[in-house]
Chain A
């Protein structure tokens, strides 16, 4: 057999991103829910705590927006992905792809691409509603926007890879949402998304500090809160190098786990 050039990671990866997007947007209910859910939470929390101003004239919704953007990644790239993969493992999507010459990495590229697009859309809607309803102020320096972008990218990659690896835990797509939802909620409560982080019990802070959501939220606070808030952080500052380190490490852990545990077929079919 003459050797034929196989489509590479880039070509296959682009094809996958295109397919994932078309496939996702083919289900309008899922699109609306994914994009609107964080906004819904912002509106509910922003309206409930409308009078509770934090020191320095910062509204609670300003604080909450930072956490909600961080959570958006968790909702889509982790919770959404785990459920989506469990479904695709069940309906034969993954088995079929596993039988093609597509590089495995192209599959991961497709998922990261899909969730990157969803994240950008989600953030745009969140910021738009925040400005319109709650007088949210946007980052006021190029440095803050830069921070916003790199934290988003690293978190997105880390959570997507962790989602790929974690998707092998639930046995069915129904079990997937039951297992992943409490994890997401516990992380949000302990990482300073729903509550102000420095007011949480110390053990809770230490628990959350192991996981990426706390660091992403902290990084996002550096983007959305004034400098006067920096000293209020538990670590005494925004600790951006530490944010980069922890998120980067989790991305690496995600990659190793995804490569080691990801499988095309349901458990028990081997």
Chain B
């Protein structure tokens, strides 16, 4: 094994997952270095869940190469499972037992588990520790899911759309927890369809659409891309709306005023937001809603 490969938590090369003729994942290339927090962003149906479930070993790829912590997840054994943590997209299990009992049970299945009290404190479920799981709210249930994902002190944590359905405050609390785990050295790959979530958490954003990575860059680069060009709009002398895309809007407006001989009517200068860049990347699929695969 090359030295570089040791620091690599995860590597996917040209991975394809086909269901009949439909390719849910169509030639995915992705690497995550140890210690990184990477957000996999994309609209519903982009292939995020299929991708993450192949990495977790739940789904078998059709072709391509996959290595997670140096092991092929399709053939991985119990030792490998002890080193990863999984937070699934939906779960409603364990409803008839208490939060504490559920956590202490899962703690027994791992070799070097966190203590149950530590876990309950980490996810902020102290007041609900002895309540039945069925009595938790959606946000509390999700925090329990995270506690179950990190009970075995994973080196690599997968989170599949962890905050869907959260109110803004719950989402902010949750981000704090994820950041803390990241600071403690956990490598994290999370999927989301909220741009704000990727922006708040990740140093690196991988945008997927139609089963492929459409961009893989740091947030800075993505923001820089947003800042490159500006659109100048004004009303022309004949009353028609005019529009010009330019990298130097100040120069353009100065020249425009000179040409027209007066202040241009309805003048605006706009730059695309990060969201505009994202929407452009994922194209029309961002508008249409489909079932996530």
Contacts from A to B (Cβ < 8 Å): 1, 3-7, 11-12, 15, 18-19, 22-24, 26-27, 88, 91-93, 95-96, 98-103, 264-265, 269-270
Contacts and interface: CB of A to CB of B under 8 A. Distances in A.
B96 A100 contact: no
18 contacts: A4-B111, A6-B79, A12-B109, A15-B108, A15-B109, A22-B96, A22-B101, A92-B90, A92-B91, A93-B94, A96-B86, A96-B93, A99-B84, A99-B88, A101-B109, A101-B111, A101-B152, A270-B60
A269 B105 contact: no
Nearest to A88: B93
B250 interface: no
A1 B83 contact: yes
B237 interface: no
Q: Give the interface size class of chain B.
A: 20 to 34
Nearest to A102: B109
Nearest to A5: B111
Given A12-B109, A19-B97, A22-B101, A100 B92 contact: no
A88 B152 CA distance: 22
Contacts of A27: 96
Interface of B: 53, 56-60, 78-79, 81-84, 86, 88, 90-97, 101, 105-106, 108-112, 132, 148, 152, 155
Given A4-B82, A96-B148, A270-B60, A23 B91 contact: no
Main secondary structure on chain A at its contact with chain B? loop
Given A99-B57, A270-B58, 5 more contacts: A91-B92, A92-B88, A92-B91, A99-B56, A101-B111
B162 to A, nearest CB: 14
Nearest to A270: B59
Contacts of A103: 78
A256 B17 CA distance: 30
A24 B94 CA distance: 10
A100 B58 contact: no
B110 A7 contact: yes
B88 A95 contact: yes
B97 A100 contact: no
B105 to A, nearest CB: 5
A7 B79 CA distance: 10
A84 to B, nearest CB: 12
Contacts of B155: 1
Contacts of B60: 270
Contacts of A92: 88, 90-93
Nearest to B58: A265
B121 to A, nearest CB: 22
Contacts of B58: 95, 98-99, 264-265, 269-270
Given A12-B109, A99-B86, A100-B152, A23 B97 contact: yes
A214 B53 CA distance: 44
